[in-house]
Every structure is written in structure tokens, then in C-alpha cells.
Amino acid sequence: MTAKKIGFIGLGVMGKPMALNLLKAGYPLTIWNRTRSKMDEVIALGASGADSPKEVAEKSDIVVTMVTDSPDVEEVILGPEGVIHGAHPSLILIDMSTISPTVARKLSEELSKRGVKMLDAPVSGGEVGAKEATLSIMIGGPEEAFMECLPIFRVLGKRITHMGPSGMGQTTKLCNQVICALNIQAVAEGLMLGAKAGIDLRKLLDVVTAGAAGSWMLSNLGPKMVDRDFRPGFKIKHQQKDLRLVLSFAAELGLPLPGTALVHQMLRAVEAEGMGDKGTQAAIVAMEKLAGAKLTS
């Protein structure tokens, strides 16, 4: 069977390795990125470049979008040169960005008027997961479209779950981000307590990661906090964008999320230090400000 022609829009930290994995798997790939220089490496390895999202849609069976926020997704889909203007009735659009569930449902409704099916399929696993094709992918939208795209998802990730109708992929991702953000804050507070009490932080990490407090955040971000290694796997500013989406969606539901609101403000203090482009482990900086001490002191 001939491999489906895939279009890929958005070649950032996550998008580029995902596009490269699709290329390695043998899929014909047409790409577009707002900053055209980011297309060069993928084109050199065999992809075709397009001049607009519209052209990507015209040349593809399935279009994947991986951009930053709800307005960016709306622009590449519904904008003057957007996917919708190059859409054909058999097209499937997979949005793998993290956006508002409400916006995802609106986009799905607009595309359905052109006979286009949409899946909202945000991911978890960061840059490492994108490169190693081990992402967790949570998907909302029509089940028949999900089944048709399952081979593509299997190229990109390991845990692939259809969560329900349109918007449920994004809703799942926002739940994920609440748990991640509060976990990061917990790691920062636990390490700060240990530092102020004079505990050997490396021994502390060694023992608590092996017990009930163990988590991905503790194992991966805890040592980086101790080493003051703030190189980004996932940036503070992107975590903040996701938390804004969470709090806005919670407001639509009339749901209080006090812990999430606190972490959002703590990370704002980190942004005020000019560290929005640092990794989320830089959350420790806000705790250091409150404690009046460095973690390693």
C-alpha cells in the first residue's frame, strides 16, 4: 500500500524531530514553517518545502500542525493562506500543539464544513520524547480518523490513547500539565527544605526517588535543580502558556484550581528574573527568592 502523503507545519523544538521521524519511516513529507530557515535541514533529508499551509494541504493526505498556541493554530488553519483553503474532502488534520479544548472544537467544526476530519492530539514527553519517538499522545476526535492515523502516531510515540470526541485530547493534556506543574513545585519545595536543613542533596535525591515520592519530575529535574542546570527541555514560558490555558478552561467550567494558580504565580516570579527561556527546573529560583538562600548553600 502506498504511504500516505503527510504535510507537517511547525518545525520548532518538538516539530522538527517529529517530522524527521516521519521522514525516516518512509512517509512522503511536505513541510512549512513560518521561519523558513528551519525548513532547510528537513528538506536536505528529502522533504519537499511549501510556500504556505494552504499548499501543504493541497499536497497532502494528512496534515500535522505543531505550533505554539491557540492563535497560531487558528492562523495556520483558518488564516488567509491557511490549511482550510487548500483542503480537500478526504483530508485529515492532526493538531499536535497544546491549545484550548474550546478552540480545538471550534476548528474541528469549521473544518468539517469542508469535509475535513480533525484530531486534536497533543503530546507529552518533551524534546527527548520527540527525538526518540517515545511521546505519550492523547487524542480527541472521530474514531475512524484515529484508526486511519494510528500508523502515523506509532511512528511518533509509544503511549497512544484515543480519549473521546473532539477536544478531549486537549483536555487530557491540560490535566497532564496541572499534575506536572504541581509536581515541579513539590520537587522545588522538598529540595529547598533539605537545603535549609543542611542535608546532602544528592543523598536526599537518591533516597526519595526510590520511595513513594519518586516521579519523572523528581528523577529528571531534581538533579538539574541541584546542579543549577537550567538548559531547557521544556521552557518556563511554554509551561506558563499551558497554565494560562488550564486556568482559562477551568474558569469556563467554574472550577477552582488553587494549586495551579499558585504555581502560575511562582513561575511568573521566575519570568520576572528574565528566565522565561530557561527550563521548568528553573522554578527553584522562585523558591530561592522566598528562602533567601541558594539551593546548594
The catalytic residues are 173
Neighbours of 151 (CB within 10 A): 12
Residue with the three cell numbers 487548500: 86
CB 195 within 8 A of CB 296: yes
285/294 Cα distance (integer angstroms): 8
CB 278 within 8 A of CB 250: no
For residue 8, report the phi and psi dihedrals to the nearest 5 degrees: -130, 125
Q: Any idea what the Cα angle at residue 285 is, between residues 284 and 287, rounded to 5°?
A: 65
Cell numbers that stand for 63 in this block: 496534515
CB 280 within 8 A of CB 184: yes
DSSP-derived secondary structure letter, 47: P
In three-state secondary structure terms, 43 is helix
245/251 Cα distance (integer angstroms): 10
Residue with the three cell numbers 511518533: 156
Q: Which residues contact 230 (CB under 8 A, 6 or more apart)?
A: 224, 275, 278, 279, 281, 282
173/44 Cα distance (integer angstroms): 33
